[in-house]
Structure 1
Amino acid sequence: MRLIHCQCGGGNTFPGGHRTLSLPPVPGRTDFGELDRAAAELLPVDTTPTLAQIQARPDVAHMSEPQLAPQRPSERLRVLVSGGDAALSAVLTRMMRRDYMWVEIAYLPTDPASPAAIAWGNPAFEEACDLPVVPSPLIRTDFGEAVAGSATVTSSDPAAEFVGEIIVDSEVLALNHSASARFFGTFGARLVPTASAPGLAAVRIVTPARQDGRPTRLSPPALEWLRRLPGGGLATRPLSVPPAQTDPSRVLAGRALQAGGRAMNVTVDGRVRRRGVEKVTFYRHLRDIQSVKIAP
């Protein structure tokens, strides 16, 4: 097995015996030349069904449980990514766009509490080299971005309520027609990839993505109720609530999440898209991640 360590942003260093690529904290497309060449060398011709052929199948096999890659390279290639969630997202994005998802990938997070670290585990270097592959769904955006740990859809104004609709498969997760709440309401959605089918799980965000002010012991619903009383706006003006809290009482799982609304921010693994959008779709890719994870 050939090992390539993508050391992103001066991340962890490990014993020798493998190729180390020193990459930026969030690698760009010009940083992956050596990884691209290694994949092409080990599998010059991919004789398995193409993405177009998979999509044309009537059985919609990509909605089933994640599968081991059918490709048979001349030598297994395992990529170890050390860095943050955005670095792992960048590597997955490159693999997806160049269509070599058969490459095995392990994550060595610099932040063991990050969303991707929680989902993938925090293996020691030796474990990352030796653990078996556990296929998992790859969630992507319609802009071609891979989600490693989590993503959010919120208002472009981080203090404002989300205005629009968010649907998971055919179920409505959030629907809001006006931005009237300040402390508790509909402020968007957060999604994470699931370990198995169908692909993603999403919850509603019920407090603003950002709010400045003095913390209070009042719950967000109580503070919102107080704000709406006569004179309540003035009394609650200097107060704040914890940002981006979610409602765990309703979790929707599905293959895709679609959002449409007024001036939305899309954040993938901590990186906010440069421009606001009016619609976005997250969905399960046709190929699965050949992930190297610590079983929960």
Structure 2
Amino acid sequence: MILLCGSPAPGALPDDAQVEKVGAIPTRGELRVLDALAESILPVDSTPSLDEIAAQPDVEHLGTPAFAPQEVPEPLRVVVVGSDGALSAVLTRMMRADYMWVEVSFVPVGPSPARQNWGIPEDPQAALELALRGQVRPVPLIRNDAGLAVAGSAVIAQWERAEITGEIIVDNEVLLRQGPGKGAWGARLVPMLDAPGIVAARALGPLDPAPRGIGRFLAQVLRRPIPGRLDPQSVLTGRAVQAGGPQLRVLVDGVSAKRPLKRVTFYRHLRDLQVVRP
């Protein structure tokens, strides 16, 4: 199945593909066609449920990402053509409906941390070729406690565009803990390709796309924080990131929560993502 998420096809599509045109950020209703196709292939999943996995005495399911244990009569590959936000919407639907055995490939449109994370070619034709014929290489799936899957990156910042007030913890280590005016603007986190699952870093400027050319020059001359700048000395990895503060803005793949939050947690899902990547 090829999902064209508000974008045209990047090239010739195979005749045997089911092509669906959906919104730039596909809705649950638009993704019901994917739900139905997955259910038609595997109507009953006999592998351990999420509750049964969580109850296991060991932590094998949080180690090296693994291939899906389901034995399906025929594989299903969904090709997402669009933004990281579109990919996040598709991954979120798959996670909530619990058919993580489906293979996922991605043809990015526009700037894409997911492209960088997964090593997808910048050339659209090469990306499409990989998406259609590449091999599956499992990676951890990172989600938050609101049930949103992270495709490329997530941000924890102050609701208003200012230095953050609050605390961010990666597993048991403090990434930042501060009141106003202390220099940190929040944190950016990115899914890893292997265990433990998340890499995070403290932001030294507004968590916007970093300016280029004259914008960066002026920020340096005027001694203003450079948007998007991260502290390389602060990098931490872990299975979970927790944050608390009076007015937090949380963005998942560029899409902001609708209202300020006082706390949020990002963590590794119990099932891995079956990603097509180099």
Q: How does the TM-score come out when normalised to structure 1? A: 0.86
Q: Is the 8 A contact 1:27 1:90 kept in 2?
A: yes
Corresponding position: 1:105 with 2:117: no
Distance 1:124 1:161 in 2: 38
Q: Distance in 2 between matches of 1:173 and 1:215?
A: 28
1:164 matched residue in structure 2: 166
Q: Which amino acid aligns with 1:242?
A: I
Q: Equivalent residue for 1:230? A: none
SS in 2 for 1:201: strand
1:216 and 1:25 mapped to 2: Cα distance? 30
Could you tell me which residue of structure 1 aligns to residue 149 of structure 2?
146
Match of 2:181 in 1: 180
Residue by residue, what CA displacement relative to the aligned partner does 1:39-97 show, whole Å, maximum 9, x if unpaired? Answer: 00110110000000000001022210000000011110000000000000000000000
Please state how far the C-alpha of 1:215 moved relative to its aligned partner: 5.3
Q: Given the superposition, is the C-alpha separation of residues 124 and 244 from structure 1 closer, same or farther in structure 2, using an over 3 Å criterion?
A: closer
Mapped partners of 2:174, 2:66: distance in 1: 29
**TM-score if structure 2 supplies the norm length?**
0.91
Runs of 4+ off more than 6 Å: none
Structure 1 unaligned regions, length at least 5: 224-235
Give 1 or 2 for the bigger CA radius of gyration: 1
**Partner Cα distance (1:124, 1:282) in 2:** 29
Query: Does 2:272 match 1:288?
Result: yes
CA distance in 1 between partners of 2:207 and 2:116 (Å): 21
Give the conservation status (yes or no) of the 8 Å contact 1:191–1:201.
yes
2:70 partner amino acid: Q
Cα offset for 1:19?
A: 0.6
Q: Which residue of 2 aligns with 1:56?
A: 55
**1:30 partner SS:** coil
Number of residues of Structure 1 aligned to a counterpart in Structure 2: 268
3-state secondary structure, aligned to 2:237: strand
Aligned to 2:73: 74
CA distance in 2, matches of 1:26, 1:117: 17
Name the residue aligned to 1:249.
233
What displacement does 1:114 show? 1.4
SS at match of 1:144: coil
Partner SS, residue 68 of structure 1: coil
Distance 1:154 1:104 in 2: 32
